[in-house]
Amino acid sequence: MNGTQPIFILPEGTLRTTGRDAQTKNIAAAKEVADNVRTTLGPKGMDKMLVDSIGDVTITNDGATILNEIEIVHPAAKMIVEVAKTQDDEVGDGTTTAVVVTGELLKKSEQLLEQNIHPTMIIRGFRQAKIKALEILQKISEDITIDDTDTLEKIAMTAMTGKGSEAAKDSLAKLAVQAVKTVGGRNRDDIKIEKKQGGSMDDTELIKGIVIDKEIVHANMSKSVKNAKIALLDAAMEVKETETNAEIRITDPTQLQAFIEQESRMLKDMVKKVVDSGCNVLFCQKGIDDLAQHYLAKQGVSAARRVKKSDMEKLAKATGANVVSSIEELSKTDIGEAGLVEEVKIAGEEMIFVRECKDPKSVSILVRGGTEHVVDEAKRAMDDAVLGVMSAAEIGKVVSGGGSIEIELSRKLREYAETVGGREQLAINAFAEAVEIIPRTLAESTGKDAIDLLVNLRSQHEKGNTNYGVDVIKGELTDMKKAGVVEPLKIKTQAIKSASEASEMILRIDDVITSKTSSGPPAGGMPPGMGGMEY
Ligand code: ADP
Ligand code: MG
């Protein structure tokens, strides 16, 4: 026997890449994803047109949306998509920033790997840099409260920049801030952002209450109820077959009559209980029988049925009503209030507006826009604005944008690297350089000499002009704080966290084993360059 016979531990057909080769490929794939969204960064960022497999078109500038819509198969590239998702979940904005910084961190680590610096050393340096970066960010941020309307509106406007809602930015920003202030809050579910094609972006409105995609169920019910007293019922106003005597055998017409009368009496009884609670509007999570609808209408109660559970919860928060799960239990103390409940036809579809609630803990914003694509992008802009304002109010800290915070962070990280020394210093410096990708990309988007802008920007910061950044529209440097480009601190801290964690994870991998049965390519399938996927 030949003692050097190889031992196979993996099934035949398994693809395997190891060592530097694995790292290089993973880094390349991740970088590619980052490069793809990079051009969308900032107010002059370009849009992407995404066409899915059934031909639906999305036009967007939103990093999270882009990465959500395109199909990515490479495992390392998928980790970048995760970065965007985390950023979106945690903050709702800053997805492009997080992804672009991740890409740049990986690019810098590749250079370090080429200098034969071990991945563990890079990872250690990146970790130190991350901890320091969070500390620095915390230090250079400024405090705000929920009463700083002016700053909050600037945050909303900065968040909406470049998302195709420029024309109505001022009014949309005001609505976003008003909404957050009304619910006083932190919970993003408390602000429902609905969109309806038609009208123009200026028709976007804040409803101090809720708008639901339902109609008043019966033609004889009032479509506009002032001083609404609202009941929320999570029970059917129907007579289930099991509740009536299923055994009765109808042998003559009087029995049928009795049967119908019994059913109608039960429904009448249910309606009486609802009416006795003192309500004039009923939102029912389940069905309402035709006859019950008729009785309700006669008693002057307007009703909607099959209301979504999530909307019922919002109705409760907005009106102060309790959701009651049995008609028997419905009482006067469960009733909520709204100044007006009305059914309105918006773009050909009925919607119910519950307005003028006193101190609502849940509100709605109905976003309007002339075409489907306009209204879609306007809604995304509004999502970002509301979440930006919320996270600024929640953490109570803001920073100036336009790349100013990143330049300052980079400068301070370099100072810190000096104090560390050794090989980690190289990694920390690489981290510092990577962060500069944000001002660099913004500078590039101006169409002016980006290197020139960046050099001047660094020297402004050396001079102590710590709020200086890139005025992308004018293509010059300016004090971003004075220019009103303000962002919540959380966007930046979360981006740094996700970016360093993701790059760490990718750097740690030195072996990629792809089994034959995965969705990967068949072993020995397509020759290289023929569209086959190579991990
Ligand atoms: P992200 O998905 O990361 O939020 P955006 O496309 O929204 O990406 O771009 C955000 C970047 O654009 C931030 O660095 C922000 O400071 C910058 N920015 C926003 N508005 C302006 C402006 N008017 N001038 C300069 N930079 C801006
Ligand atoms: Mg943004």
CA of 148 to the centre of ligand 2 (A): 21
Ligand 1 site, residue 92, Cβ cutoff 6 A: no
pLDDT in tens, 419-447: 998 888 999 999 999 999 999 999 999 99
Ligand that comes closest to the CA of residue 154? 1
Check if 161 is active-site. Answer: no
Ligand 1 site, residue 164, Cβ cutoff 6 A: no
The one catalytic residue among 17, 95, 466, 478 = 95
Highest mean pLDDT among 16-30, 84-98, 392-406: 392-406
User: Is the pLDDT at 391 greater than 80, yes or no?
Assistant: yes
CA gap 250, 400 in Å, rounded: 79
Q: Which residues pair with 363 in a beta bridge?
A: 191
Name all domains of the chain by residue range, CATH numbers in brackets.
15-143+400-534 (1.10.560.10), 210-240+251-359 (3.50.7.10)
Nearest to 325 by CA among 413, 434, 235, 215: 235
pLDDT at 188 (0 to 100): 83
Query: How many residues are present in the chain?
Result: 535
Check if 60 is active-site. Answer: no
pLDDT at 89 (0 to 100): 87
pTM: predicted TM-score of the whole model, two decimal places: 0.83
Ligand 1 site, residue 406, Cβ cutoff 6 A: no
Q: Which atom of ligand 1 is nearest to the CA of 157?
A: 20
Quote the tokens at residue 496. Answer: 């740094």
The one catalytic residue among 47, 88, 376, 384 = 384
CA gap 360, 391 in Å, rounded: 20
Candidate from 377, 405, 485, 494 with most ligand 1 atoms within 8 A of CB, to mutate: 485
Residue 505 carries which side chain, given as an amino acid letter? M
**Average pLDDT over the chain, rounded to whole?**
88
Q: Which atom of ligand 1 is nearest to the CA of 99?
A: 3
pLDDT at 534 (0 to 100): 45
Check if 384 is active-site. Answer: yes
Q: Is the dihedral of CA 286, 292, 293, 295 positive or negative?
A: negative
pLDDT in tens, 137-178: 999 999 999 999 999 999 999 998 877 667 788 899 999 999
Q: Is the dihedral of CA 21, 22, 24, 25 positive or negative?
A: positive
CA of 161 to the centre of ligand 2 (A): 7
The phi and psi torsions of 513 (rounded to 5 degrees) equal -115, 120
User: Is the pLDDT at 524 greater than 50, yes or no?
Assistant: no
Ligand 1 site, residue 95, Cβ cutoff 6 A: yes
Burial degree of 134 (CB within 10 A; 0-12, 13-18, 19+): middle
Region 52-70 average pLDDT: 76
- Which has more pLDDT, 29 or 293? 293
Check if 96 is active-site. Answer: yes
CA gap 162, 384 in Å, rounded: 12
CB of 40 closer than 8 Å to CB of 47: yes
Lowest mean pLDDT among 64-73, 122-131, 440-449, 517-526: 517-526
Q: How far is CA 120 from the centre of its chain?
A: 34
Q: Which residues pair with 212 in a beta bridge?
A: 352
CA of 512 to the centre of ligand 2 (A): 34
Lowest mean pLDDT among 151-155, 157-161, 285-289, 527-531: 527-531
Region 274-284 average pLDDT: 96
The helix/strand/coil state of 166 is helix
CA gap 357, 210 in Å, rounded: 9
pLDDT at 78 (0 to 100): 85
3-state secondary structure labels for all residues of 230-277? EEEECCCECCCCCCCCCCCCCCCHHHHHHHHHHHHHHHHHHHHHHHHC
Whole-angstrom CA distances from 275 to 295, 338, 376 are 10, 17, 41
Q: Give Rg (Cα) of the chain.
A: 30
Ligand 1 site, residue 324, Cβ cutoff 6 A: no
The one catalytic residue among 17, 60, 86, 96 = 96
